[in-house]
Amino acid sequence: MPGQLLVSGLYGNEDDLKVVAAEGEILGETWYSTKVELPLKSTFQVYNGNEKKKYSLMIAGKALPVWGFGKPDFSEYEIEVTEQPVRFFKWELPVKVEKKTIREREQVTRIYSRKEAIDSAKELARKDIKNYLPENAIIKGEKILHQSIENDKVKLTTHFTIIEDIAEGQPIIKETENDRRLKNDGNTTSEPN
């Protein structure tokens, strides 16, 4: 039952209760459902490993090329720019070294077979549920509830059975003698009797 007290830091009899910090791990079986869609055909950009580097000195906002002249001979590319300030001992000079890394990229199309798409969708569902759960949770079981291929997409609904710590910590609020007296008397004012 949610909210049921399973671990307590109170011990002793009713008249002489002592409060101590208590810890407990309550493992419970919980259920989760995930829905995953994965296209059978996907197109994306990848780097093919070809790159060119260019170095320039940046003085007053103007670039003075030092190394790597000319235009890249790549049809599709991406440029990464990093700037490093030049220092003389502890002083930063108004000069920066700019490094441009030009990486060639190409478009790749991946086409899954029906089985590959279903296997990838299952793996994606597992990753999704693991991202949601605490680290020490264990996937006890999984069952495919619904699986279909519509509009060149695999649609997968998976039911997971998880073993996880369901304990919820509560702060210890120390009760004073005056609070106990008020509670026992049924008096709600804070003035002493």
Residues 50-90 have pLDDT tens digits of 999 999 999 888 888 999 888 888 888 999 999 999 898 88
Q: What is the pLDDT of residues 145-190, one digit of tens each?
A: 999 988 889 999 999 999 998 877 777 676 655 565 666 665 555 4
> Mind listing the domains of the chain with CATH numbers?
26-40+112-185 (3.30.1660), 43-109 (no CATH)
Q: pLDDT at residue 192 above 60? A: no
Q: Give the whole-angstrom CA distance, residue 139 versus residue 162.
A: 5
Asked if residue 38 lies in contact with residue 119, where contact means CB atoms within 8 angstroms, the answer is no
What span, in angstroms and rounded, lies between the C-alpha atoms of 141 and 121? 16
CA distance 133 to 28: 13
> What SS3 class is residue 108?
strand
* Total-model pTM: 0.56
The type of residue at 111 is I
